[in-house]
Amino acid sequence: MPFCKKITPYYEFNLSSVKENYSNWKSICTKNGRTDIPAYSIKANYNKKILKTIKKLDGFFEVCSYLEYQYLKKIGIDSKKIIVNGTAFSKKNLKKILKSGTLIIADSEEIIKDICELNIKCSIGLRCNLDYIKTDKNTFFNKVSRFGITDIEEIISFLLKYKKVNLICLQAHFSGNTREPSVFKLIAETLCEIILHYNLKNITRIDIGGGYKVSRKYWDIRDYYESVLNVLKEKQMEYLKIIFEPGNSIVRNCGKYYTTIIDIKKINETVYCIANGSIIHLPFLKGKKIKNCRIQNSKNKKEEKQYIVGSTCKESDILTELTNEPALKIGSVIEFNNVGAYSINEIPKFIIKKPKVYYLK
């Protein structure tokens, strides 16, 4: 595929990839009459056209703030298709969200108290802190989380006093650990055990969070789905609906970033190829070597080592390192692949302006 002649730096999003990725999740979750939910975690990329693409598929969404909730409402997302996580909500905003029929998964005792004091008939979820099951050192690198509620029994006793608030969902999410399907199986097992232990008959669903590593090199969606569904079958709890919160696996491969070499310097035998873009346009990849890139064909003599660096004043602005590749030249265009997740949302206005976005349909 030839390089585009648009002015760099810019992003290119393939909306067909977004459609395909979400459709794959949805088809697996609705197979054999089940109605499990893939709720796209919009923090991965809340580009409006991406959100609208998933909306057209009758998709569900997961948000972590009132700001994100407003993004969805502005483009006409049905409130009942939104799942709200998060820690910072005013009573006023909680009231708006609950009255719209959106499921809020409470992350703290204080949020639950605020909800109860509103005296609104509603259904809520509860985020559980499951640090106590992180016993395998090879699986869990991050053993401590500040999220979720630890004293489940106390919260359940508290909620029994408020008949208008119905607890229908338990949720847990692990971050900073291995992404093997076995981790999500363990989450599902533990949430089911809590339901059985406390005889929570009103629970109709479990939410096992996100962090799925879906690719040919790692795991398939089915690996995650079946590992959790098998838990429900073993415990005879197939009546529970499973909520997944995929983000990265839906938008990662839809995004490309293009930048052009505008200057080349050699300092202390090191070649620096200066691009008109910057690593700040790919914040999720900062500090990592970006290996998945493509460069215009060059017949130049190979250079032992070249650094592609950004055009800001930060020494750390390094996009990638090339080893034994043809020497770059001014005007060479670099294409970075698989950057659709956790990039455009986090770009600061620092020295250079934000790149434009173009779309492939």
> For 94-129, what is each residue's pLDDT tens digit?
999 999 999 999 999 999 999 999 999 999 999 999
The length of the chain is 361
Higher-pLDDT residue of 142, 205: 205
Q: How far apart are CA 263 and CA 273, in angstroms?
A: 6
CATH code: domain of residue 261: 2.40.37.10
User: Looking at 251, 271, 289, which one is the last position of a domain?
Assistant: 251
Full domain range(s) for residue 293: 254-360
Q: How far apart are CA 165 and CA 110, in angstroms?
A: 15
Q: Which residues are within 8 A (CB) of 206 and not within 5 positions of it... i.e. 6 or more apart?
A: 169, 170, 171, 188, 191, 192, 195, 240, 241, 242, 243
- CB count in 10 Å sphere of residue 2: 5
Q: Is the peptide bond before 9 cis (omega within 30 degrees of 0)?
A: yes
Q: What is residue 176's predicted lDDT score, i.e. its pLDDT? A: 67
Would you place residue 12 in the very low, low, confident or very high pLDDT band (cuts 50, 70, 90)? very high
Could you tell me if 236 and 343 lie in one domain?
no
Would you place residue 298 in the very low, low, confident or very high pLDDT band (cuts 50, 70, 90)? low
Could you tell me if 188 and 314 lie in one domain?
no
DSSP 116: H
In terms of Cα–Cα distance, which of 360, 290, 292, 300 is closest to 331?
A: 300
Domain membership of residue 2 (yes or no) is no
Question: Three-class SS of residue 275?
Answer: strand
Given a cut of 80, whether residue 304 has pLDDT beyond it is: yes
Q: How far apart are CA 145 and CA 338, in angstroms?
A: 29
End-to-end CA distance of the chain: 16
Domain membership of residue 8 (yes or no) is no
- What's the number of domains the chain is made of? 2
Domain membership of residue 157 (yes or no) is yes
CATH code: domain of residue 48: 3.20.20.10
Could you tell me if 273 and 239 lie in one domain?
no
Domain membership of residue 38 (yes or no) is yes
Domain membership of residue 322 (yes or no) is yes
Could you tell me if 90 and 139 lie in one domain?
yes
Would you place residue 294 in the very low, low, confident or very high pLDDT band (cuts 50, 70, 90)? confident
Given a cut of 70, whether residue 55 has pLDDT beyond it is: yes
Pairing of strands 255-267, 10-14: antiparallel
Would you place residue 1 in the very low, low, confident or very high pLDDT band (cuts 50, 70, 90)? very low
Could you tell me if 21 and 39 lie in one domain?
yes
Mean per-residue pLDDT over the chain, rounded: 90
Could you tell me if 151 and 109 lie in one domain?
yes
Residue 80 tokens read as 């009942």
Could you tell me if 83 and 212 lie in one domain?
yes
Could you tell me if 159 and 70 lie in one domain?
yes
User: Looking at 223, 251, 279, which one is the last position of a domain?
Assistant: 251
Could you tell me if 238 and 142 lie in one domain?
yes
Domain membership of residue 4 (yes or no) is no
How confident is the model over 162-211, as pLDDT tens digits?
999 999 999 999 876 778 999 999 999 999 999 999 999 999 999 999 99
Domain membership of residue 351 (yes or no) is yes
User: Looking at 185, 217, 251, which one is the last position of a domain?
Assistant: 251
Given a cut of 60, whether residue 287 has pLDDT beyond it is: no
Could you tell me if 86 and 177 lie in one domain?
yes
Could you tell me if 210 and 121 lie in one domain?
yes
Domain membership of residue 208 (yes or no) is yes
Could you tell me if 259 and 243 lie in one domain?
no
Measuring CA to CA, how many Å separate 59 from each of 28, 36, 72, 255, 311? Answer: 14, 12, 12, 20, 39
